[in-house]
Amino acid sequence: MRLAIADPPYPPFYSERHDLAAGGARLTSRSRARRWYGNAGRETTGRNRPADFHPDAGAWDDPARHRALLEQLLDEFDGWAIATSPDGLECYRPIPVPARLLVWHKLRAVPTAHRIATSWEPVVLYPPKGRRGRPAADQPGRTYGDQVPDVLTAAPPGAGFAGAKPAAWTRWVLDALSYDPDVDEVVDMFPGSGAVTAAIAQGVLL
């Protein structure tokens, strides 16, 4: 089967500004894609250049681009996973009925200006047909009743790349997809730091 892991630049962050003279509020947005992967607010040469620089990163500030990604995955792959932010989930709705929502609980949350820290990220996971139930008793390396938890607690890798995922994250996602290295192909849609590809090469089953 063909499987895919997609970890695109996350959708923009939206917030309310209460600085109008009449006391009202206005909706503002702040780019995540151009900030972390493009040239927003920084030079793109020397040490100020993002480690994973993409000149067209701004395309991912359009919510429609994220929905198009989901449609592409449905058309081209048997199973897939999309990493995003909690507020970014809206860009992927309606989520296909067979898909499941997984939660990565990050041990080191990035400090923000908000009073409530965001310490988790969702993964929209679409299991391949035929692999959505519990494994059979005679499946190699498995026992009947084995299940993959829908929550992973793991710290970010600190790899110097924005959005890099730890190896445990990749193993968890591929285990949820019932990845079989003997028969499956895995496509890393956004290679970035190379952490996903490296985790696959090192072995993926938890």
Does 23 reside within a domain? yes
Does 206 reside within a domain? no
When mean pLDDT is compared over 6-10, 25-29, 116-120, 196-200, the highest value belongs to 6-10
- Indicate which CATH number applies to the domain containing 136: 3.40.50
Residue 28 has pLDDT above 80, yes or no: no
Residue-level pLDDT at 160: 57
Does 8 reside within a domain? yes
Determine the structural domain holding residue 162 and report its residue range. 2-201
Does 111 reside within a domain? yes
The answer to whether the beta carbons of residues 40 and 12 sit under 8 Å apart is no
Residue 27: HSE in the Cβ half-sphere, 13 Å Cα cutoff? 3
Does 76 reside within a domain? yes
pLDDT per position as a tens digit, 99-151: 999 999 998 766 666 677 778 999 999 999 988 887 665 665 555 557 899 99
More confident residue, 123 or 51: 123
Computed over every residue of the chain, the mean pLDDT equals 79
Say how many domains are in the chain: 1
Residue found by looking up tokens 């989930």 in the block: 89
pLDDT band (50, 70, 90) for residue 194: confident
Among 86, 83, 103, 90, smallest CA distance to 162 is for 83
Residue 44 has pLDDT above 50, yes or no: no
> Is the alpha carbon torsion for 36, 169, 63, 56 positive or negative?
positive
Does 70 reside within a domain? yes
Among 32, 87, 81, smallest CA distance to 57 is for 32
Q: Are strands 79-83 and 120-126 parallel, antiparallel or unpaired?
A: antiparallel
pTM of the model: 0.78
The answer to whether the beta carbons of residues 41 and 14 sit under 8 Å apart is no
Q: Which two tokens stand for residue 37?
A: 């992967």
pLDDT band (50, 70, 90) for residue 204: very low
Does 129 reside within a domain? yes
Does 62 reside within a domain? yes
The CA distances from residue 8 to 29, 69, 165, 173, 191, in Å, are 18, 9, 12, 16, 9
Residue 200 has pLDDT above 60, yes or no: yes
Residue-level pLDDT at 135: 66
Residue-level pLDDT at 89: 93
- Rounded to an integer, what distance in angstroms lies between the CA atom of residue 63 and that of residue 14? 12
